Amino acid sequence: MFMLECEILARGLYRPDQLDIAYDSSLRMPATPAIQEWMDTLWEKKLAFARERDIPLFDAPLFRLVEAASTPGGRLRLVLGDTGYKEYVTTRVPEFARGRKRVELGNALSVCSVVETSDGYILLDKRQGVDVYVGRYHVIGGFFERDLDSTGSQQPDPFGAICREIREETGIQLPDIREQYCLGVVYDVAAPHAEMCFLTRLNIPLAKVYQRVPEEDEIKQLESLFATKESLREFLLKNHGNISATGEPNLLMYGGVRFGEEWFGEVIGKL
């Protein structure tokens, strides 16, 4: 662990055919009747709070990370099970998560991506309308949803999930994407859950990105950074603590791919 908020579980440069995913819907968080009652009670409180403020809140079927590891031959092995948004928001709270092992938590799996335009910019979002890391910088991302992000055989499709999130949040379409890699898996220890980090390279410039129409109103103001060795280093060092727990390692892993391992080690050493 190099930061208090996040741990890198696996890191590499993975194409879709380099992911080995074992999915078993029975791999759920262990829950006694007492734990289930505790989650139900807290969820009802959160629903009441959301209704009072006219905030949409609903349970959604999510994938649960059981295991992530880099394997010989440059592959990424994932073991996934089932969880849901209700389970995630009720087991991530400190009074529940503190003192428990990760296997005892919901461990919802999310996806996020550094999106790089053809003219060298990366896209950033200042988080708004969310319940964690409000006001912090983040990259493009969201939850890995079982009902939206599976193939016809019910096989989890993380590349499809991140393409969906990018399309919904920015309007960027599949033909706009030149190439895409998974950079690894990280674990947010502050708001316990896992996240797959990606690099998405576009074949359109920043000006055309701003012409795309998002499908959702999640990103209030899309920001950008012209990414050089110096500018990305400065951004990370200046904003450490003001970047989401998963967005920061995504940016670091992107920098490692773009600018080399020496850059990666240097910046981590200064955080």
Domain spans of the chain, in order of start? 6-270
Amino acid 126: pLDDT: 87
- What does the pLDDT average to over 179-205? 96
- Which among 140, 185, 127 has a CA at the least distance from the CA of 8? 185
Inter-CA distances, 215 with 36, 165, 235, Å? 35, 10, 29
pLDDT at 132: 66
Q: How far apart are CA 53 and CA 65, in angstroms?
A: 32
Q: Give the range among 35-49, 76-90, 142-156 with minimum mean pLDDT.
A: 142-156
User: What sign results for the dihedral spanned by CA atoms 143, 144, 146, 151?
Assistant: positive
Helical pair 261-270 and 247-259, crossing angle rounded to 10 deg: 140
pLDDT at 186: 97
Give the pLDDT band of residue 1 (cuts 50, 70, 90).
very low
- Select from 6, 271, 239 the least CA-distant residue to 126: 239
CB 127 within 8 A of CB 133: yes
55-97: per-residue pLDDT in tens? 788 899 999 999 999 998 899 999 999 999 999 999 999 999 9
Beta bridge partners of 82: 63
pTM of the model: 0.94
Give dist(CA 217, CA 53) in Å, integer: 18
Could you say which architecture CATH assigns to the domain 6-270?
A: Alpha-Beta Complex (3.90)
